[in-house]
Amino acid sequence: MARGVNKVILIGNLGSDPEVKYTPDGVPVANFSLATNESWNDKDGQRQERTEWHRLVLWRRQAEVAQQYLKKGAKIYVEGKLQTRSWDDQSGQKRYMTEVVVLDMQMLDSRGEGGGSGYGDEGGSRAGGGSDFSGGRAGGGSSYGGDRAGTQPDASPPPSGDDDDLPF
């Protein structure tokens, strides 16, 4: 029987600085939004653009690296998987949030030195001059979703649809 595939690949710009919190066990977890843009010509030949917002979650060393090196507007490449969480809000209504659990991340902006160093167990830089911030997946491909137990989701809504204040 065929297995399903849950894989996400995104290239976009951070909509906010990473926010790092810690689980009761002291495990760092970072959350931030990522904007991806698409453009096309409509039937009248007019150029149209749309920004899609994605909620990203990074665990452990990746979370710490994101907090240290990533800022609003930075361009990154991420690979991960979709995860939907649910909780009851203060009024007792069931709420849902779908987010991307990042398993691999690469900074695409240059850092002045002209190249980047690798972080995580895999180490090294990828082609393209960015820095590779792997989540320590060597030797079995850890899934970071299991550490979510006991953490409360951020109930704040995604960024507004006003794209005029985006730094890119």
Residue in the block written with tokens 């609003």:
72
- Whole-angstrom Cα distance, residue 58 to residue 80? 10
Q: Which two tokens stand for residue 118?
A: 């690798």
Run of H or E residues at 69: helix 60-69
Show me where the domains of the chain are located.
1-38+48-87+98-138
pTM: 0.64
β-sheet bridge partners, residue 102: 80
User: Between 2.40.50.140, 2.102.10.10, 3.40.50.620, 3.40.50.300, what CATH number should domain 1-38+48-87+98-138 receive?
Assistant: 2.40.50.140
Give tens-digit pLDDT for 32-68: 999 999 999 999 999 999 999 999 999 999 999 999 9
Residue in the block written with tokens 């690469």:
106
Give tens-digit pLDDT for 5-29: 999 999 999 999 999 999 999 999 9
